[in-house]
Amino acid sequence: MQRFQAEPISPRRHILAEGPCYRRDTGILSWVDIKAGALHLRERDGSLGQVQVGQYLGAAIPARSGRYVGMMATGVYLFDREGLVRKVCQPEDMALNHRFNDAKCDPRGRLWGGVMTISTRRPPELGQLYRFTPQGKAETVLTGLGIPNGMAWSADGRTMYFINTPSGGVDAMDYDPDTGAVGNRRRVVSVTGGGPDGMTIDAEDRLWVAVWGGSQVRRYDPQSGEQLAAVDVPARAVSSCCFGGEDLQTLYITTSGEPEPDNPMAGCVFAVRVPVTGTETVLCDDSGF
């Protein structure tokens, strides 16, 4: 099994960094600090910037328009570097004590997002997974979730991978690229030694899973369930990852500082070079929003 070591790209610590995205056309790496309500931006030259949105920000997906789609505590918003532009929607069945968590777009730019309760004394199985129409309307796809998290799609667009963290693994679902319909949900990867969190996929259709509480990102073969590689991270709570760089062979990794207040590395963003090519962050099609 291959093993790699991640290194911090900035000394800045975050409460709960999540959702890294890399725009290959601009070279901008972005991520959110959920509990600080901030989008962080790292330019191609390494300079840093941020946008405050004033509430929990579970994810911020780069959009084709150049704006960001913010998945927040009070719904879905469009915003840019100057701040909020407008509210897109709030799912009708989204409870007041819930917030959006992870979000991704399928290969065609269709938005997906998961909702979980804000309470730290979380009642089990109250989370939901939503698919959004081209006009930004939320459609409930899965219910009874604990913490809806990582999502990824196979190269042919016909398999969707999904993580519900308390379940301890990665599920696959048959996927219709034309309609976004899913079915035949089954377990393909089991994760031990921590909880599966955010996830990305490489050009070989292998999954890279952030392991919360495991100080690692692990590469898995979803066909066999075998672990192929591990990236060691000097922080316990590893939250998510994405590929970036001009050749898509840099893996960017986010972590949380909350569980380790005395660890100067906890809450930093990390990077590591890997010998496989990743996939680009898919931009959200916000033309109808």
Confidence of residue 123 (pLDDT cuts 50, 70, 90): low
Q: What is the mean pLDDT of residues 11-24?
A: 96
Percent of the chain at pLDDT exceeding 70? 98
- Whether the pLDDT of residue 125 is over 80: the answer is no
pLDDT for the residue 118? 87
The tens digit of pLDDT for each residue in 188-199 reads 999 999 999 999
pLDDT for the residue 120? 62
The tens digit of pLDDT for each residue in 223-252 reads 999 999 999 999 999 999 999 999 999 999
Q: What is the mean pLDDT of residues 280-289?
A: 97
pLDDT for the residue 122? 59
DSSP-derived secondary structure letter, 234:
S
- Whether the pLDDT of residue 94 is over 90: the answer is no
Q: How far is CA 205 from CA 17, 120, 190, 220, 278, in A?
A: 25, 35, 17, 9, 9
Percent of the chain at pLDDT exceeding 90? 92
Domain definitions of the chain by residue range: 2-273
The tens digit of pLDDT for each residue in 131-176 reads 999 999 999 999 999 999 999 999 999 999 999 999 999 999 999 9
Total-model pTM: 0.97
pLDDT for the residue 121? 66
Confidence of residue 126 (pLDDT cuts 50, 70, 90): confident
Q: What is the mean pLDDT of residues 40-44?
A: 96
Please answer whether residues 96 and 170 qualify as being in contact, where contact means their C-beta atoms are separated by less than 8 angstroms: no
Residue 135 to residue 28: CA distance in whole angstroms: 27
Radius of gyration, CA atoms only, the chain: 17
Mean pLDDT of the chain: 95
Please answer whether residues 18 and 199 qualify as being in contact, where contact means their C-beta atoms are separated by less than 8 angstroms: no
Q: What is the mean pLDDT of residues 31-37?
A: 97
The tens digit of pLDDT for each residue in 199-230 reads 999 999 999 999 999 999 999 999 999 999 99
At the top level of CATH, the class of 2-273 is mainly beta
Residues 6+ apart with CB under 8 A from 168: 190, 191, 192, 195, 196
Residue 137's region, left for phi above 0, alpha for psi from -120 to 50, else beta, is beta
Confidence of residue 284 (pLDDT cuts 50, 70, 90): very high
pLDDT for the residue 91? 92
Please answer whether residues 76 and 87 qualify as being in contact, where contact means their C-beta atoms are separated by less than 8 angstroms: yes
Q: What is the mean pLDDT of residues 272-284?
A: 98
Confidence of residue 97 (pLDDT cuts 50, 70, 90): confident
- ∠ CA(283), CA(21), CA(29), 5° rounding? 115
Closest CA to 42 of 268, 283, 275, 279: 268
Residue 167 to residue 142: CA distance in whole angstroms: 14
